[in-house]
Amino acid sequence: MSWLDAIQLRDLDAGARLELTCRNCGKVRFVTPAQLLALGDFGHLWLSEVQARARCKQRGCKGAMRLALPHRGETKGFVGGIA
Ligand SMILES: [Zn+2]
């Protein structure tokens, strides 16, 4: 068990930044819970499940992703201001 198993997507601020890093090619992309929720009914997913479903979008890669919250705890109530 990790903290990824303790947080559901709907527990996060809609504008929180989730960092996804490809385990294969190292490509990093950022997503917000709002973006993921717009794709489907994912609010009940644990972050570990979100991570398991994420795939790299680099052409020809499709590698598994590692999910992290870069500023977890530090920017609560402040994340909306980060572009
Ligand atoms: Zn990749």
Residue 39 within a domain: yes
CA-closest candidate to residue 51, choices 10, 13, 21, 16: 21
Q: Can you tell me the mean pLDDT for 57-71?
A: 92
The CA 69 to ligand 1 mean position distance, Å, reads 19
Residue 80 within a domain: no
Number of domains the chain is built from? 1
Concatenating the DSSP letter of every residue in 16-56 gives --EEEEETTT--EEEE-HHHHHHHSS-TT-BHHHHHHH-B-
Which residues make up the environment of ion ligand 1, defined by Cβ < 5 Å?
22, 24-25, 27, 56, 58, 61, 63
Residue 59 within a domain: yes
Residue 77 within a domain: no
The CA 5 to ligand 1 mean position distance, Å, reads 24
b/e burial code for range 20-41 (CB count within 10 A of at least 16 → b): bbbeeeeeeeebbbeebeeeee
Q: How confident is the model over 66-82, as pLDDT tens digits?
A: 999 886 555 445 444 44
The CA 27 to ligand 1 mean position distance, Å, reads 5
Residue 7 within a domain: yes
Range of the domain at 35: 3-68
Band the pLDDT of 1: cuts 50, 70, 90: confident
Residue 38 within a domain: yes
Q: Which residue has the tokens 């920017």?
A: 75
Residue 31 within a domain: yes
